[in-house]
């Protein structure tokens, strides 16, 4: 049994909008480094904590967090579509072991995942990968959200569960740092928006058209033809400092509304990082072995790539 962690940002702009300068080359260099880290660790199974963007998990049922015992990719932004190589036995074990610790976590036998889960997995393992994994959905945009402390406690419970598997478990976190895309809210929204947040099932053509408009909007920002709320590098570094220090209980007092005010509408994607680092912390103090960050102004987002291992490894 052993644990290791890789935490990566995801972005629809990746590969679609040039961030300028040497940033894209630097990000790809860091991705090569983290892939080498993962290959050296040689995981038996990967557990990925990630959000959804109202593509797979909707208000038909919006759990705070859920383990997928079977999963399909929705295929957004060119990521994998269809059935995925989920280790169903491990997923069900993790679900039962986490529940036994008093954490109310849901189980799905058909979890739909979007680029929030798929893009980091494809960064690490390539398109069409066959490596066994377990997806853990962490709600980041479907309000109301749990208090931040619950995410830490869920991560710790899942980390302890992972240590009972007698396997080498790679913990992966997926989520953007500060960024502020337009995100619909159900409460108070017009009826067509509410319906979309309950039953969104676009055709491939409709999905492609919507994604094209989003990429066009990001490109307009990159070209200076449109404005966006700026990323918050100071806030990003505040979070990264917590992950570096291992003082994860610091997140317990963070206010959900303040999180959005400081980090933007999608800042709560960092809940996935909180969960994954909390899971790793159950193996003792850890050390960061990869620690890269870029304030990508042309994307309007902070982008991070990190990896960590227990100090006793």
* Count of residues in the chain: 313
How distant, in Å, are the alpha carbons of 94, 118, 250 from that of 125? 22, 10, 33
Given 10, 95, 115, 268, the catalytic residue: 115
pLDDT value of residue 232: 96
The answer to whether residues 19 and 13 touch, using CB atoms and an 8 Å cutoff, is yes
Place of tokens 């929705």: 74
pLDDT value of residue 184: 94
pLDDT value of residue 226: 79
Place of tokens 């759990």: 63
Distance, in Å, from the CA atom of 52 to the CA atom of 44, rounded to the nearest integer, reads 25
Buried b (16+ CB within 10 A) or exposed e, 109-130: eebbbbbbbbbbbbbbbeeebe
For residue 22, what are the contacts with CB-CB under 8 A and spacing of at least 6?
A: none
Active site residue 10: no
Helix (H, G, I), strand (E, B) or coil at 308: strand
pTM, full prediction: 0.97
pLDDT value of residue 1: 62
In which element (H, E) is residue 49 found? strand 45-50
pLDDT value of residue 224: 85
The answer to whether residues 128 and 39 touch, using CB atoms and an 8 Å cutoff, is no
For residue 93, give both structure tokens.
């074990």
pLDDT value of residue 221: 85
Tell me what the pLDDT averaged over the chain comes to: 96
The answer to whether residues 281 and 307 touch, using CB atoms and an 8 Å cutoff, is no
Distance, in Å, from the CA atom of 100 to the CA atom of 104, rounded to the nearest integer, reads 9
**Model confidence pLDDT, tens digit, residues 179-207:** 999 999 999 999 999 999 999 989 989 99
User: Max Cα separation, the chain?
Assistant: 54
Helix (H, G, I), strand (E, B) or coil at 113: strand
Distance, in Å, from the CA atom of 38 to the CA atom of 133, rounded to the nearest integer, reads 13
The per-residue pLDDT string of the chain (313 residues; one tens digit each, 9 = 90 and over) reads 699 999 999 999 999 999 999 999 999 999 999 999 999 999 999 999 999 999 999 999 999 999 999 999 999 999 999 999 999 999 999 999 999 999 999 999 999 999 999 999 999 999 999 999 999 999 999 999 999 999 999 999 999 999 999 999 999 999 999 999 999 999 999 999 999 999 998 998 999 999 999 999 889 888 888 777 889 999 999 999 999 999 999 999 999 999 999 999 999 999 999 999 999 999 999 999 999 999 999 999 999 999 999 998 7
pLDDT value of residue 313: 74
Given 10, 95, 179, 268, the catalytic residue: 179
């Amino acid at each position: 049994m052993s644990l290791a962690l890789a935490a990566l940002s995801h972005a629809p702009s990746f590969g679609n909008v040039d961030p300028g300068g040497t940033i894209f080359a630097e990000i790809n260099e860091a991705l090569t480094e983290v892939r080498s880290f993962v290959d050296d660790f040689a995981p038996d199974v990967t557990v990925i904590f990630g959000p959804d963007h109202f593509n797979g998990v909707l208000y038909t049922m919006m759990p705070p967090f859920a383990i997928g015992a079977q999963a399909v990719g929705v295929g957004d932004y060119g990521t994998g579509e269809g059935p995925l190589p989920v280790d169903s036995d491990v997923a069900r074990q993790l679900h039962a072991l986490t529940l036994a610790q008093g954490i109310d976590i849901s189980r799905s036998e058909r979890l739909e995942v979007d680029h929030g889960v798929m893009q980091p997995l494809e960064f690490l393992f390539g398109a069409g990968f066959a490596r066994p994994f377990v997806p853990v959905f962490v709600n980041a945009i479907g309000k109301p959200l749990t208090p931040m402390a619950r995410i830490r406690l869920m991560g710790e419970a899942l980390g302890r569960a992972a240590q009972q598997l007698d396997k080498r478990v790679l913990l992966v976190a997926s989520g953007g740092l500060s960024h502020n895309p337009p995100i619909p809210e159900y409460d108070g929204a017009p009826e067509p928006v509410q319906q979309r947040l309950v039953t969104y099932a676009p055709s491939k053509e409709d999905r492609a058209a919507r994604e094209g408009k989003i990429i066009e909007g990001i490109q307009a920002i990159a070209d200076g033809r449109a404005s966006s709320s700026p990323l918050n590098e100071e806030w990003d570094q505040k979070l990264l400092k917590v992950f570096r220090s291992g003082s994860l209980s610091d997140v317990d007092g963070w206010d959900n509304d303040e999180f959005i005010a400081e980090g933007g509408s999608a800042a709560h994607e960092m809940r996935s990082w909180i969960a994954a680092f909390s899971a790793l912390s159950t193996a003792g103090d850890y050390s960061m072995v990869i620690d890269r960050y870029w304030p990508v102004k042309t994307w309007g987002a902070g982008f991070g790539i990190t990896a960590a291992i227990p100090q006793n490894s």
